[in-house]
């Protein structure tokens, strides 16, 4: 590991922020070009991709095609998937799987040595490649972390977060970094004309999430404050089957369990999804999440029942989920698992083109912090890891194919010299507000209340961490308030139908979100209800 204090303030390296799948894969693809990799947590930790249980979607089985994969992606995307992007990603799946195999990822194989494939919700074929059933994310991140540590051209800097993006005349000039978890530390500035943000998602902005604490929207916030265009921030996917055993983040019961025949029941033992969709438990995630939410809201509770489908085979087939259940005193072979929807994946993010370029020159974004148009309003299961590796490779190719100007001289003054410790009460209120008003089911009054609250917090926060969280929360809530319809994962109780004229992606900025907040601050509060966590 390189010590940050051994760095000069200027580097000719490509700087990648984020130690998850997109960041690690991009760094490896750039070799032997010098790369500085900034990671808040030690490599292999703190990344949502390490927790992914499903696997990677890829049309590698006999009889399957990229065209069929793209068609499934488009079908669940709520009418706003960029079809060319979806097809391009599906066509690049097989080469990226072979890259991962070359980096040492031990994908499951069948008895004849071919890649074993499973099926997940809304896929028309078995096309999910796994590692030991439900351990794909952890195995991929472990293999890539080891490959990165063995690559001389990559210098990892662990334990630092990017708290500001430096720009001049619409182009990136560098980053301001600070030691993670130490707001009193003096920030460090690093100059670079080529920055890749791969900082992950926003799940930890919600009170109930499957994401690690690092997934707090910081990358999205610093890009937005630098003026980057943000796409589709209102579309947040809630995984319908987080295991509710009092842990934060909540353990995940992978969708593959339902693919193997597990069913959803309420506290009365009734299988409730049959009334919501012909595919029942294998319906698109947004529909399943709302079905689960409705049972909980009605006081009946919701449970994942694998007793008949798996029974004694549960531990062998799904060891990660089994371990989470056993640790909480639940034997999934003989007991139904209590579940609830949890913030899981952000379809929105920094708007990027087909090469991963943002609207700011010299800034690329990959993985969950970006929005490519591939997912539309609702992500298809196991497409996120695929998108991450496809765009990481494209970003590396794009950077390799263009000259990077010499770094500019950094400003003498820091963007922010001081930062207070994160106010836990403010963080708790923000997360409660997001779950209550910007969650599975939304309405205009609640969204307006959230917008006003987040705008005030963004303005008043003395903690950089809290300000970043409030910035991203404001972008999500303002866009959700503006979209007066229901589409994909965005469901509004006061506008339950989709509006054909609104079948288009959102492109917005932080300035626009603040303008929404200003317009709402001039209106009287419609009600005084306090946010409640379902």
Nearest-angstrom CA–CA distance, 45 and 330: 26
Strands 35-39 and 14-17: parallel
**pLDDT score at 181:** 87
Nearest-angstrom CA–CA distance, 13 and 22: 17
Annotated catalytic residue: which of 96, 127, 258, 285? Answer: 285
**pLDDT score at 404:** 78
168-222, pLDDT tens digit by residue?
Answer: 999 999 999 999 989 888 899 999 999 999 999 999 999 999 998 989 999 999 9
Nearest-angstrom CA–CA distance, 203 and 193: 29
Band (pLDDT 50/70/90 cuts) for residue 453 is: very high
Nearest-angstrom CA–CA distance, 451 and 471: 10
Distance of CA 384 to the CA centre of its chain: 8
**pLDDT score at 137:** 86
**pLDDT score at 321:** 92
Q: Is the pLDDT of residue 289 over 50?
A: yes
Q: What is the mean pLDDT of the chain?
A: 91
Band (pLDDT 50/70/90 cuts) for residue 120 is: confident
Among residues 89, 54, 42, the alpha carbon closest in space to that of 70 is found at 89
Measured in degrees and rounded to the nearest 5, phi and psi for residue 140 equal: -65, -45
| CA Rg value for the chain | 22
**pLDDT score at 532:** 30
Q: Is the pLDDT of residue 448 over 70?
A: yes
| DSSP assignment of 215-271 | -SSHHHHHHHHTT--EE-TT-EEEEEEEE-SS-SSPPB--THHHHTT-EEEETTS-B
Q: Are 509 and 236 in contact (CB under 8 A)?
A: no
Task: Give SS3 for 119.
Answer: coil
Nearest-angstrom CA–CA distance, 519 and 513: 10
Sign of the torsion angle spanned by Cα atoms 77, 82, 83, 87: negative
Nearest-angstrom CA–CA distance, 343 and 368: 13
Helices 83-91 and 66-76 sit at what angle, rounded to 10 degrees?
140
Residues across the chain: 534
Give percent of the chain with pLDDT exceeding 70.
Answer: 93
Alpha helices of 112-185 — where are they, by DSSP H?
136-149
Distance of CA 103 to the CA centre of its chain: 23
Strands 349-351 and 370-371: parallel
Q: Are 367 and 391 in contact (CB under 8 A)?
A: yes
**pLDDT score at 47:** 77
- Specify which residues 154 forms β-bridges with: 35
Active site residue 452: no
Nearest-angstrom CA–CA distance, 362 and 355: 12
**pLDDT score at 297:** 84
The pTM assigned to this predicted structure is 0.91
Q: Are 135 and 324 in contact (CB under 8 A)?
A: no
Mean pLDDT computed over 257-276: 96
How is the chain split among helix, strand and coil, in percent rounded to 5?
Answer: 35, 20, 45
**Which residue reads 């969950």 in tokens?**
368
The tokens of 33 are what?
Answer: 């070009």
Among residues 164, 158, 159, 41, the alpha carbon closest in space to that of 467 is found at 164
Mean pLDDT computed over 519-526: 72
Mean pLDDT computed over 74-91: 97
- Per DSSP (E only), the strands in 399-525 are 507-508
Cβ neighbourhood burial of 330 (10 Å; 0-12, 13-18, 19+): middle
462-513, pLDDT tens digit by residue?
Answer: 999 999 999 999 999 999 999 999 999 999 999 999 999 999 999 999 999 9
| DSSP assignment of 371-409 | E-SSSTTSPPTTHHHHHHHHHHHHHHHHHHTSPPPPPPP
Mean pLDDT computed over 261-276: 96
Among left, alpha and beta (phi > 0; psi -120 to 50; other), residue 172 is beta
Band (pLDDT 50/70/90 cuts) for residue 5 is: low
Q: Judge if the upstream peptide bond of residue 249 is cis by omega within 30 degrees of 0.
A: yes
Q: Is the pLDDT of residue 524 over 70?
A: no
17-33, pLDDT tens digit by residue?
Answer: 999 999 999 999 999 99
Q: Is the pLDDT of residue 97 over 60?
A: yes
**pLDDT score at 352:** 98
Distances (CA, A) of 432 to 402, 425, 531: 45, 11, 7
**pLDDT score at 533:** 29
Measured in degrees and rounded to the nearest 5, phi and psi for residue 33 equal: -65, 135
Q: Is the pLDDT of residue 56 over 50?
A: yes
**pLDDT score at 529:** 37
Among left, alpha and beta (phi > 0; psi -120 to 50; other), residue 227 is left
- Per DSSP (E only), the strands in 151-235 are 154-158, 160-168, 171-179, 188-191, 195-197, 230-231
The upper half-sphere exposure of residue 174, i.e. CA atoms within 13 Å in the direction of its Cβ, equals 21
Q: Is the pLDDT of residue 4 over 80?
A: no
Q: Is the pLDDT of residue 329 over 90?
A: yes
**pLDDT score at 528:** 36
């Amino acid at each position: 590991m390189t010590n940050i204090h051994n760095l000069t303030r200027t580097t000719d390296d490509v700087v990648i922020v984020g130690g998850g799948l997109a960041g690690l894969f991009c760094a490896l693809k750039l070799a032997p070009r010098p790369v500085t990799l900034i990671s808040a947590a030690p490599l292999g930790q703190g990344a949502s991709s390490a927790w992914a249980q499903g696997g990677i979607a890829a049309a590698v089985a006999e009889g399957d095609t990229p065209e069929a994969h793209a068609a499934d992606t488009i079908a669940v995307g709520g009418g706003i998937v960029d079809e060319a992007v979806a097809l391009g990603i599906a066509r690049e799946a097989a080469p990226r799987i072979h890259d991962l195999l070359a980096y040492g990822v031990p994908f499951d194989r069948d008895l004849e040595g071919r890649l074993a494939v499973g099926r997940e919700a809304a896929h028309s074929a078995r096309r999910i490649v796994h590692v030991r059933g439900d351990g794909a994310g952890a195995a991929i991140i472990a293999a890539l972390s080891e490959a990165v540590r063995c690559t001389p051209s990559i210098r990892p800097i662990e334990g630092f977060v990017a708290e500001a993006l430096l720009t001049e005349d619409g182009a990136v000039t560098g980053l301001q970094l600070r030691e993670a978890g130490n707001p009193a530390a003096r920030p460090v500035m690093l100059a670079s004309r080529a920055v890749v943000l791969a900082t992950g998602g926003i799940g930890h902005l919600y009170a109930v999430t499957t994401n690690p604490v690092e997934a707090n929207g910081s990358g999205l916030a610093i890009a937005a404050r630098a003026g980057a265009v943000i796409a589709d921030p209102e579309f947040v996917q809630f995984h319908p089957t987080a295991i509710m055993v009092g842990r934060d983040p909540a353990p995940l019961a992978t969708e593959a369990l339902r693919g193997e025949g597990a069913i959803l029941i309420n506290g009365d033992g009734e299988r409730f999804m049959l009334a919501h969709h012909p595919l029942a438990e294998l319906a698109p995630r947004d529909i399943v999440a709302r079905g689960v939410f409705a049972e909980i809201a009605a006081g009946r509770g919701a449970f994942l029942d694998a007793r008949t489908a798996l029974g004694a085979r549960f531990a062998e087939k799904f060891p990660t989920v089994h371990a989470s259940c056993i640790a909480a005193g639940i034997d999934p072979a003989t007991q139904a698992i209590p579940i609830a929807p949890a913030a899981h994946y952000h379809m929105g993010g920094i708007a990027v083109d087909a090469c991963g370029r943002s609207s700011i020159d010299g800034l690329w974004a990959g993985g969950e912090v970006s929005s490519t148009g591939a997912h539309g309003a609702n992500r298809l299961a196991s497409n996120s890891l695929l998108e991450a590796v496809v765009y990481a490779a494209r970003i590396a190719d794009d950077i390799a194919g263009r000259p990077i100007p010499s770094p500019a001289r950094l400003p003498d003054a820091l963007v922010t010299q001081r930062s207070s410790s994160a106010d836990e009460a403010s963080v708790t209120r923000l997360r409660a507000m997001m779950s209550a008003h910007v969650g599975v089911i939304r309405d205009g009054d609640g969204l307006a209340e959230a917008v006003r609250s987040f705008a005030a917090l963004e303005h008043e926060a003395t903690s950089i961490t809290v300000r970043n969280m409030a910035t991203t929360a404001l972008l999500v809530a303002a866009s959700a308030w503006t979209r007066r319809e229901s589409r994909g994962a965005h469901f509004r109780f006061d506008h339950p139908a989709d509006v054909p004229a609104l079948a288009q992606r959102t492109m917005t900025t932080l300035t626009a979100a603040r303008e929404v907040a200003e317009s709402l601050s001039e209106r009287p509060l419609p009600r005084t209800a306090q946010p409640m966590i379902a």
